[in-house]
Chain A
Amino acid sequence: MIAHVAAADERSGRVVLWLSGTTAASRIAIDAAMLLGEAFEAEVESLYVEDPQLFDLAAFPFARVIGEAGGAWRPLPQDALEREMRFAAAAMHRQVAEAGLAASVTCHARNVRDEPLRAVAQACAQNGPWNVVIVGEPMAAGDEGRLAELFDGVRDTTGAVITGPMARRTRGSVVAVVEDFERLGPMLTAARRLSAPIGAAVKLMLVGDRRDELAWMEGEARLICASGTDAETISLESVLAANDDAAPLVAVLQQHGPGLALAQYGGRLAAPGASLRPLASTLECPLLLVR
Chain B
Amino acid sequence: MFFKRFKQDKSKAAEVVADVEPVPQAPVASEASSVAAPEVAAREAETPEPSLSLGAHMNSAGATDPASLGFKTTADLKPEDGPIGQDDAMQAIAFGAGIKGPGYHILVVGPQGMGRRTATRAKLQEIAGKADRPFDWVYVSSFDPTGGFRALKLPPGTAKPFAEKMALAIDHLADALPAAFAADDYELKRRTIEEEFRFSREDALEALRREAEAQNIALLRTPAGIAVAPVLDGKVVKTDVFNSVPEALRREVETKIAALEAEIEAILAERPEAEKDRRARLVALNEQVAGRHVRAALDDLKTEFADVAGVESYLKAAARDLVRNAGIFVAPPGIAAGQPARVPATHPRFARYAVHVMATSSAGSGAPIVYEPNPTYANIFGRIELGAATDAPSQVVRIKAGALQRANGGYLLVDGDALLDSAGSAEALRRALEAEEIRFDPPAGPIGAVGDEVPDLEPIPLSVRLVVFASPTTQRRLAASNAALRRIFKVEAVFEHAVERTKEAVDAFARVIAGVVDKQRLRPLDAAAVGLLVDEAAHRAGGRAKLSLLISDVIDVCREADHWAAADDRKVISSADVERALRQRRTRAGELAEAS
- Chain A residues in contact with chain B, CB under 8 A? 21-23, 53-54, 56-57, 59-60, 62-71, 73-74, 76, 80-81, 84-85, 87-88, 140-142, 165-166, 168-169, 171-173, 200, 255-259, 277, 281-282
Contact = CB atoms under 8 A, between A and B. Distances in A.
B198 A59 contact: no
26 contacts: A22-B222, A54-B227, A56-B237, A56-B239, A57-B227, A57-B229, A57-B236, A59-B238, A62-B257, A63-B229, A64-B261, A66-B227, A66-B261, A67-B225, A67-B268, A69-B268, A69-B271, A73-B265, A80-B224, A81-B224, A140-B202, A140-B206, A141-B202, A169-B333, A172-B337, A259-B338
A191 to B, nearest CB: 15
A66 B223 contact: no
B516 interface: no
A67 B229 contact: no
A interface, over-half SS: loop
Nearest to A92: B223
Nearest to B187: A254
A87 B203 CA distance: 30
B222 to A, nearest CB: 5
Interface string B231-275: 000011111001000000000001001000100110011011000
A54 B218 CA distance: 11
Given A62-B257, A166-B195, 5 more contacts: A65-B226, A66-B227, A76-B224, A141-B202, A257-B338
B100 interface: no
A114 to B, nearest CB: 14
B199 interface: yes
B206 A65 contact: no
Given A62-B257, A169-B333, A169-B334, A70 B269 contact: yes
B223 A85 contact: yes
A64 B254 CA distance: 12
Contacts of A141: 199, 202-203, 206
A279 to B, nearest CB: 12
A56 B236 contact: yes
B338 A68 contact: no
B184 interface: yes
Contacts of B222: 21-22, 54, 57, 65, 76, 81, 84
Contact of A53 (B220, B223, B264): B220
Contacts of A63: 227, 229
Given A23-B223, A56-B236, A140-B206, A166 B265 contact: no
B191 interface: yes
A22 B229 CA distance: 15
B221 interface: yes
Contacts of A66: 225-227, 261, 264-265, 268
Contacts of B202: 140-142, 165
B436 interface: no
Nearest to B253: A62
Contacts, number: 121
Contacts of B496: none
B194 interface: yes
Nearest to A115: B235
Contact of B221 (A23, A62, A80, A171): A23
Contacts of B226: 65-66, 68
Nearest to A57: B229
B239 A256 contact: no
A151 B47 CA distance: 125
A270 to B, nearest CB: 19
A165 B224 contact: no
A84 B239 CA distance: 21
Contacts of A277: 199
Interface residues of B, number: 40
Contacts of B338: 172-173, 256-259
B273 to A, nearest CB: 11
A153 to B, nearest CB: 13
A80 B227 CA distance: 14
Contacts of B236: 53-54, 56-57
Nearest to B184: A255
A167 B573 CA distance: 86
Contact of B199 (A64, A65, A70, A281): A281
A194 B221 CA distance: 33
A270 B198 CA distance: 21
Contact of A62 (B254, B264, B268): B254
Given A53-B235, A69-B268, A84-B223, A60 B337 contact: no
B221 A22 contact: yes
Which 8 pairs between the two chains have the least Cβ-Cβ distance? A70-B268, A171-B337, A257-B338, A22-B221, A172-B337, A57-B229, A67-B225, A53-B236
A65 B268 contact: no
Given A63-B229, A70-B268, A142 B239 contact: no
Given A60-B229, A66-B225, A171 B237 contact: no
A255 B242 CA distance: 52
A13 B516 CA distance: 88
Nearest to A282: B191
Contacts of A74: 224
B199 A76 contact: no
Contacts of A282: 191
B337 A67 contact: no
A28 to B, nearest CB: 11
Interface string B401-425: 0000000000000000000000000
A64 B260 CA distance: 12
B241 to A, nearest CB: 10
Interface in B79-104: none
A56 B195 CA distance: 34
Nearest to A59: B239
A167 B198 CA distance: 13
Residue with the highest number of chain B CB atoms closer than 10 Å, among A57, A76, A256: A57
A255 B199 CA distance: 22
B220 A22 contact: yes
Contacts of A73: 261, 265
Nearest to A74: B224
Contacts of A88: 223
Nearest to B210: A142
Given A65-B222, A76-B227, A166 B191 contact: yes
Nearest to A61: B239
Nearest to A68: B225
A60 B239 contact: yes
B337 A169 contact: yes
A70 B230 CA distance: 22
Nearest to A256: B338
Interface string B198-222: 1100110010010000000000111
A277 B239 CA distance: 36
A87 B222 CA distance: 13
**Interface centre among A60, A256, A282, by most B CB within 10 Å?**
A60
Given A66-B265, A140-B202, A56 B238 contact: yes
B334 A171 contact: yes
Nearest to A254: B187
A248 to B, nearest CB: 13
B272 A70 contact: yes
